[in-house]
Amino acid sequence: MTWLVTGGAGYIGSHVVKALLEDGLAPVVLDDLSTGHAGFVPDDVPFVEGTILDQPLLEKTLDHHGVTGVIHLAGFKYAGVSVSRPLHTYAQNVQGTGTLLEAMLAQGVGAIVFSSSAATFGTPDVDLVTETTPTSPESPYGESKLIGEWLIRDVARAHGLRHTSLRYFNVVGSGAPELYDSSPHNLFPLVFAALAEGRTPRINGDDYPTPDGTCVRDYVHVSDLARSHVVAARRLEAGEALEPVYNLGSGDGASVRQIMDAVREVTGIDFEPEIGPRRPGDPARIVATGELARRDLDWWMRHSLVDMVRTAWESAPRA
């Protein structure tokens, strides 16, 4: 069984490739390297450099490698930036997904695992998000991910495509020293960069209605996330029914101050974070249940918060 991983040279994608290999599946990577790294792709994994907007390339790749399913992670992933670049976001995440689906239909590839996002929920007004919590995205990025889910759903109705969409929350950590999160917008890389440069990490607001006053988010380890992609792929390949959408959440969450405390413990660098004002639009708490995914996708928290910070720190690039 051969699975195409779009965006397989990225942070999450490279961990999915690693998990596929460990499970005895054959991955093929397609990535345009706009945010990914060619060095993240193992030497023995076929790598095609290109965009999901290139349908002839997609069809050629699917055919040449005998692809039986797709794990679709490629896309423009920066929610904040998407507000100022909506056309680019929709082209990559909506048009790109549509082009991929066209190529799959043309080549008779009948299964897809889609990388969706917690951004589809916007700012939920519940303490614990479930798959039935209403979606209300607040950025072009969140909207584009929700439209991607709809596209896949509608193609499945029309053509019998086997599918599921996985909604991620805050993905952190590392499963290998050479694989790291290089996003300029995520909390862990920002904190590590500040420490490496001798700056003090910053907390945006400490007066939220949470136990320690700082925002609570749902942090999950990238290796646990990758493992559930493989289980989903295996089940779709076997023709087993899956839910159309799963939340990959911890059911618990951690505050920004708890993250800072764990960073201090792991790095051995003694610091007291600066406290800045709240960022507009930051909700106090976003935490999701992962019960459905635990039932169907072997999803559970194999890593503690300290594990998440430690593995991320060990893989973080040093100047």
Active site residues: 141
| CA-based nearest residue to 71, from 120, 2, 119 | 2
As a whole number of angstroms, the distance between CA 284 and CA 89 comes to 27
Contacting residues for 266 by C-beta, under 8 A, at least 6 apart: 306, 309, 310, 313
Distances from the Cα of 84 to the Cαs of 87, 90, 115, 140, 141, in angstroms?
9, 12, 22, 9, 11
| CA-based nearest residue to 167, from 233, 221, 93, 116 | 116
As a whole number of angstroms, the distance between CA 172 and CA 186 comes to 9
Contacting residues for 157 by C-beta, under 8 A, at least 6 apart: none
Helix (H) or strand (E) holding 64: helix 55-64
Contacting residues for 216 by C-beta, under 8 A, at least 6 apart: 210, 253, 254, 255, 284, 285, 286, 287
Residue with tokens 């086997």: 162
Q: What is the CA radius of gyration of the chain?
A: 19
Q: Which two tokens stand for residue 314?
A: 């060990």
